[in-house]
Amino acid sequence: MPNQPESDGPIIDLRSDTVTQPTDAMREAMMSAPLGDDIFSDDPTVNALQDRVADLFGMEAALFVPSGTMANQIAIRSHTEPGDEIICHHLSHIYLYEAGAPAAISGCSMRLLDGDRGMFTSDDVRAALRPVDQHFPISRLCVIENTQNRGGGSVWSESQIADVSRTARELGLKMHLDGARIMNACVASGTNVKDYAKHFDSATICFSKGLGAPVGSAVAGDMTFIDRARRFRKMFGGAMRQSGILAAAANHALDHHVDRLKVDHENAATLARRLSENPRIKVDPCETNIVYFDLEENAGTAPEMEAKLLRNNVRMLALGPQRLRAVTHLHITRDDIERAAAIILESIPK
């Protein structure tokens, strides 16, 4: 069995920060949450979470939804009409990992930008804008992802975002923040969530990533936007009933799992540092909890390394012939990181 762990010990799972299990305290919070029927706006725990998220972003209202993908797609559908075009980076989650939903659900085309580590500038947005002419799609929405997942968990600074947003709004575009890991961005940059969010018309947050909840995301915006978003949430099948049991996990995560993200960032930085001790491993810059690295051609392939790690009870993802990814989260300790690094380093002679 080459692709199974060789012993029954605990697995160090670095495939993603979505693999976390709810902690005992989180489970207790879920079990004791007061519940209602959220489609009647009756669930006090959902209402409390939505008010809290709106407040966190400094926006008028927020909506609890089942996933980050649905949060983004509700936002896209709410801002656009079929035939509109979305401007975003070619590494963005909405383009790469949401099953073509902007085209399928909202009838939108996407204008893809280049730029280092998933980021772009106001000049890029200006150059991508379509002239007003019956031949062209209507440029409607610009989407920024912070942190940028495929860009290496990279962090936009507030001033980079302010620059893009100022221009985008001058050009008549709406601004959406894919904030699946916005708390990672805030912890890494020391920027307040509101200072990021004020540059956007809508924003999302995922509770099921590094924040450690089992399920759930939210989307925030002004009242008119949220009224429209609520309608599309229903249409997409994402309106839920006693969803307070899930919102309770999200509330618990916001109470207890934000400050500790810095531990994940330290662990990721340690892994990046260890791996770069070997010149045959090329490690991308690591800013938050995601580490991408490439093995040199003569240092074996990424799938071989993934299999070797798994035999040693460590899971990472091979994302290309030579490329691997490791993501830290609340179940990963400093010792786990040292162990994972040792397995990789001992199998690649310098």
Ligand X SMILES: *Cc1c(COP(=O)(O)O)cnc(C)c1O
| Radius of gyration of the chain from its Cα atoms, rounded to whole angstroms | 21
The residue from 124, 145, 306, 336 that contacts ligand X (CB under 6 A) is: 145
Q: How many CA atoms lie within 13 A of 156 on its CB side?
A: 31
Residue 136 carries which DSSP code? S
Run of H or E residues at 75:
helix 68-79
Q: Closer to ligand X by CB, 13 or 145: give it.
A: 145
294 with 281: CB under 8 angstroms?
yes
Nearer to ligand X, 283 or 327 (CB): 327
Q: Which is nearer to ligand X, 196 or 274 (CB)?
A: 196
Identified binder of ligand X from the candidate list 43, 84, 178, 284, rule CB under 6 A: 178
Using the rule CB under 6 A, is 68 a contact of ligand X? yes
Q: Which is nearer to ligand X, 12 or 91 (CB)?
A: 91
Residue 264, interface with ligand X (CB under 6 A)? no
Total residues in contact with ligand X, by rule CB under 6 A: 13
**Cβ partners under 8 Å of residue 278, min gap 6:** 345, 348, 350
Residue 62 backbone phi and psi in degrees, to 5: -145, 160
In this complex, which beta carbon is closest to ligand X, that of residue 92 or of residue 267?
92
Residue 138 host element (H or E): strand 138-145
Pairing of strands 290-295, 281-283: antiparallel
Q: Single out the residue of 337, 324, 268, 271 nearest to residue 293, CA to CA.
A: 324
Please identify, among the stretches 63-71, 107-115, 246-254, 315-323, the one whose residues bind ligand X according to the rule CB under 6 A. Answer: 63-71
206 binds ligand X (CB under 6 A): yes
Q: Which stretch binds ligand X (CB under 6 A): 108-116, 187-195, 204-212, 251-259?
A: 204-212
Span of 81-89, 185-193, 203-211, 250-258 interacting with ligand X by CB under 6 A: 203-211
- The span of 35-43, 66-74, 127-135, 249-257 binding ligand X (CB under 6 A) equals 66-74
d(CA 67, CA 190): 26
Q: What angle do CA 33, 69, 51 make, to 5 degrees?
A: 40
Determine which residue in the list 217, 243, 278, 313 makes contact with ligand X, applying CB under 6 A: 217
By CB under 6 A, residue 287 contacts ligand X: no
Taking CB under 6 A as the rule, does residue 69 contact ligand X?
Answer: yes
| DSSP, residue by residue, 223-235 | HHHHHHHHHHHHH
Give contact residues for ligand X (rule: CB under 6 A). Answer: 67-69, 72, 93, 145, 149, 178, 180, 206, 208-209, 217
